[in-house]
Structure 1
Amino acid sequence: MLKVLKQLHLPLWLLLSCVLATLWVLLSPEAGLGRVSRLTNSWSDSTEDSSPEHVCNCSGILQGDVEALEQAKLLTITKEFHQRIHIPDESYVRATQDCRNFKLKRKYNTQPLSEEEEDLPLAYSIVVHQKVQSFERLLRSIYTPQNLYCIHVDKQAAASVTAAISAIASCFPNVFMVSRREEVVYASWSRVQADLNCMAHLYNVSSQWKYFINLCGQDFPLKTNLETVRMLRSLWGGNSLESEQMPSGKKHRVTVVHKIVNRAMEKTKEAKTPPPFNLPILSGSAYMVVSRGFIHSVLTDSRIQALMDWAKDTYSPDEFLWATIQRIPGVPGSNWPNSKYDMSDVNAIARLVKWEHHEGSQGSLQAVYPLCHGRHVRSVCVYGAGDLHWMIQQHHLFANKFDTDTDPIAIYCLEKYLRQKALADVH
């Protein structure tokens, strides 16, 4: 090109201008060869071709192919396979000593994939207590440079877990450890407090993000970041979370005082006082997709502050607090407390969860969803590869629970599927 320009006998200043303009076009992020080609090279559609899982037929698994699922199942039951995929916590500390190489090798997306995504940054809270490998794969699957990520590691987590997650976070300017950590006790207020600490941190560190999503280490996305952004825009400032009438079998959770005894919640004989302001207590879950305005109310509204003080000695307050706040008049994005506005977990977009007592065989009119292909923990399905075909057809943003010890292929194939979709959207 330079030779051709010289033959035109142009002035030196014009010659240099032509060269610089051409380089700008070729390297510009907005150019056809700019953003897309660099993404294709540095953020390929496969996760790790050398990983033990790559022998699986992910395409067949996602389509529900019986043979592909059987092959995957045979692979996951071998001890050798699980030994090969396991990554010790210490490996992350060593790997992140060279952050550039870590992000390149682990194929993190280090630039916004579209202006649409860049214009709607998100804030995430991730509560973790173990399984660094699962956490890192979750972070990698949702990471984009315009979003913010607050990580809460349980105070009681093993030192190796805290060190590894802290090392990972240190490689990213928009991923940080929460400033105040809690000792999380199952079904106690501490679980709520962990999210509250991240909410306050995220709210104060930036005014740019538009929506808040809370996660745990056993979640995994079902949508790309672009799909998530588009679904959030369609809420028109509203929130999406489970919020419905409290089942009679759960009412003891909020009518009797509970206390922590030997690191477990126990029911006492002391009756609870009525909730403040005669607020109707709704049932829900720990997970939500809410606007920045909702978070502002949680941090500042006197009614909500009184409700939270009242809830501190209840059982599993995370499973009614957010659901109740969502129905308080005046809270941004909230719905009226009338039962006509009830929202089930199936209809909300926050989280896909398979509860054992709602599962059923194909064709059963009573079943909410098909049988679990993994195993159950506290009546919740820990997904297997056989759940993916059904799962990717659902409208939820995230699913719970995944576990690399139960079925790493489920995570591998889902991550590969999402990466291919994200790249297809860029093209």
Structure 2
Amino acid sequence: MTLLGFIKRAFLAILLVYGLISLLHYYRRAHEYSTEISLLFDKLEVRDIFNDIEKSRLSCPSVCPSLINGEEVQLGTCPKHEDENNHKLYTRQIKNCSFINKKGFILQSMTEEEENFPLAFSLVVYCNPNQIELLLRAIYRPQNFYCIHVDLHSKESFKTSMYTLADCFQNVFVAERSELVRWGTFGVVAAELSCMRDLLRYKKWKYFINLTGQEFPLKTNLEIVRILKALNGANDINARVDSSKLFRIRYIYNEEGCAIRRNKPVPFNMTVLSGSTHISATRDFVDFLVNNPKSKVYIDWLNGTKIPDETVFSMLNGNPHLGVPGSYKGSLHSMRFLPHISRYKVWDYDRNGFCGGFFRRGVCIFSVRDLPQLITKTQMFANKFAGVDPHNFMARHCLDEWLFNRTRDEYLGHFRFNLRPYQSLPQAYP
């Protein structure tokens, strides 16, 4: 054999080995992110379960598919919206808890994967019990845990409705400590901390997601579980260095928002960051935030600053030298470019964002015109839904119907979730 022939054969052998290694790697990754579902019931039982639920959930079967497809239709009064201020009537309607079956809550874990990866949610609310119930129904599973924080200044009739709602479930409760939640003040952070403390009493959950009563899921529970598993122990908390917002932490402010004195120096040589108040965080991150001595010093320093809810999570997650579980390990510069998968939100300054509804305090209130784009988003939840105008009211009801159908079809194997966009998230741990 000539030297040239030997080199050719060696080169072909190397290519063959490389190809086999690549193929094995592909199959390993495919197995790791497999979309196969291990149901706790056989498919006939699943079909029966969802047929029974569907009978109690039908709202506008002829209208919603058209709206989802972006077609113009006559909304009429289907379904009729509830009086969001009639808290006493709502409480009477749910008092015997029969609404759980009548309104079609999913009361089974459905899959081993979901059962073995329970989630914890906080719901910070102040009004509209019917909308809160709709949100709870969309995210409810018996293996998860739900803390409802009721604003300290909410009407007593609303508080009673929330306690009545929570008493119907073993895994839903109202936060023991109620805070006054005013935008821009520490009360927003205190409400989250209140639910976090209560949720930590339950030992099994893996990730924490904070919600308000004006949000709605864009993914099924199983999809959310798989997205969070793809993070591999990392948090989804966005942050950035923004010198224009340093005034927020340099001073202590009174209730009217006026600076009254300079704040103490930033503790622990932390880099000042700001970001979103919407997070998905590991249990260990929540435990660190609530119980770690360093965190307690940090929280005390933050109390009295302006809009602390846009600082509290971001600074902890972006300062890994503190030993914060799940924190971001990349550069500070790269943090601002991280994809935020926890929440989809359209601001009035976002040139690329479409808002089919209207803007309130700079945030889009979604309407039925937003439905075609909402169902395509990679984020797990959307913010915000409000109002009793048919276009806004029907947006959340049609999204609820779409999500239920997606959940049913997912379990029956009629479609498989594409996990590829989440397999290489830069904030995820290897």
TM superposition score normalised by structure 2 = 0.81
- Aligned partner of 1:414 in structure 2 is 399
- Aligned partner letter, 2:200: Y
1:194 to 191, 201, 208: 191
Q: Is the 8 A contact 2:249 2:305 kept in 1?
A: yes
2:64 to 49, 53, 58: 58
Identity rate, percent: 33
Gaps of 5+ in 1: 1-27, 359-366
1:173-322 pair list within 5 angstroms: 173-204=170-201, 206-248=202-244, 250-261=245-256, 266-322=257-313
2:110 to 94, 110, 113: 113
Give the C-alpha shift of residue 45 in structure 1.
7.6
Give the C-alpha shift of residue 61 in structure 1.
1.6
Q: Is the 8 A contact 1:257 1:313 kept in 2?
A: yes
- Aligned partner of 2:381 in structure 1 is 398
RMSD across aligned positions (CA): 2.1
Gaps of 5+ in 2: 1-38, 413-430
- Aligned partner letter, 1:328: N
* Rounded Cα–Cα distance in structure 2 between residues aligned with 1:195 and 1:307: 16
* Rounded Cα–Cα distance in structure 2 between residues aligned with 1:91 and 1:82: 18
Q: Is the 8 A contact 1:45 1:423 kept in 2?
A: no
* Rounded Cα–Cα distance in structure 2 between residues aligned with 1:84 and 1:219: 17
Deviations 1:51-72 (A, max 9, x none): xxx176222222222x23xx34
* Rounded Cα–Cα distance in structure 2 between residues aligned with 1:416 and 1:81: 13
- Aligned partner of 2:15 in structure 1 is none
Give the C-alpha shift of residue 82 in structure 1.
9.1
Q: Is the 8 A contact 2:82 2:130 kept in 1?
A: no
What is the aligned residue count? 369
For residue 98 of structure 1, give the secondary structure of its aligned residue in structure 2: coil
1:333 to 326, 333, 338: 326
Give the C-alpha shift of residue 96 in structure 1.
2.3
- Aligned partner of 1:103 in structure 2 is 100
- Aligned partner of 2:4 in structure 1 is none
TM superposition score normalised by structure 1 = 0.82
- Aligned partner letter, 2:395: A
* Rounded Cα–Cα distance in structure 2 between residues aligned with 1:276 and 1:391: 40
Deviations 1:27-83 (A, max 9, x none): x9533433x14412332187333xxxx176222222222x23xx34xx4xxxx7797
Q: Is 2:156 the counterpart of 1:159?
A: yes
- Aligned partner letter, 2:70: G
For residue 284 of structure 2, give the secondary structure of its aligned residue in structure 1: helix
Q: Which portions of structure 1, spanning 4 or more consecutive aligned residues, are displaced by more than 4 angstroms?
A: 80-84
Deviations 1:310-349 (A, max 9, x none): 11010110011101111122211101373234145x8111
Give the C-alpha shift of residue 163 in structure 1.
0.9
* Rounded Cα–Cα distance in structure 1 between residues aligned with 2:50 and 2:81: 28
Q: Is the 8 A contact 2:131 2:213 kept in 1?
A: yes
- Aligned partner of 2:54 in structure 1 is 44
Q: Is the 8 A contact 2:216 2:383 kept in 1?
A: yes
